[in-house]
Amino acid sequence: MSLLLTPWTRLALLVVLLAAAGACVLVYEPQRILSEGWPPGLPVGTAVVLFAAVYGVCSAAFVPRPLLNLAAGAVFGTQFGLVAAVGGTVLGAGIAFGLGRVMGQEALRPFLRGRLLEAADGQLSRHGFRSMLAVRLFPGVPFVVANYGAAVSRCGWAPFLLATALGVVPNTTAYVIAGASASSPGSPAFLVSFGFIVVSVVAAGVVGWRKRHRLAAPRNDGPAYELTPQHPPVVSGASHGP
């Protein structure tokens, strides 16, 4: 029984679980809801909740969020689509964070070596909400990677989920509006949302590139040698008395 509780065993189970989830995505293609829509006659409230649940599981299983956000807009329109997409995003982030925290943190933390990894771990551990909010607002880091990276760090549950819920709203809104107005690609709503998506992708690339250089730059922590306390000078041949 103790073997099943070792960090490496839990990490191996996590890898197997994620591989199985990815295989299920390839086999069952849950993204088909984008073209097939939701079953008719289902109350919209129930449909939104079920869609958010499916969204959360799919996003934790590597289905790209942009595709799911477009599907939410196409199926429910802007208002209910945004609720379903944001709810599913938070649920999927929580699933991934919980799996990574319980099954992978202890095994992977000893491998946090190198300036970039240590800097990222330090930011998430000390400034969890602020760091995760920046990651969500400028989505240069893939959604699943950010989830499991935060899980390996010492970022808390509350700042992680709150930053996710707030930070994904602008980008998710743009995708949902694009999905809701995809039938009329020349409409102002579609053009504005598509333009926002392009600008956010470019901004994320610029911010990520500048941050990379800042983290990779050598630190200037002062002189490399260790200062020793100063002692009074000793005068050779000094007289010891009259």
The DSSP letter of residue 68 is H
Rounded to 5 degrees, what angle do the CA atoms 150, 57, 181 make? 100
Residue 140 has what pLDDT?
73
Query: What is the dihedral angle through the alpha carbons of 195, 200, 202, 205, rounded to the nearest 10 degrees?
Result: -170
Residue 106 has what pLDDT?
56
Q: Which two tokens stand for residue 19?
A: 């591989």
Residue 63 has what pLDDT?
84
- Locate tokens 């070792």: which residue? 6
* pTM value > 0.85: no
Query: Along the chain (242 residues), what's the average pLDDT of each consecutive run of 10 residues?
Result: 58 72 72 62 88 89 88 92 96 90 61 53 74 83 83 85 95 95 90 90 74 52 44 50 47
The DSSP letter of residue 156 is -
Domain ranges of the chain: 7-216
CA distance 76 to 23: 28
Residue 139 C-beta-side C-alpha neighbours within 13 Å? 22
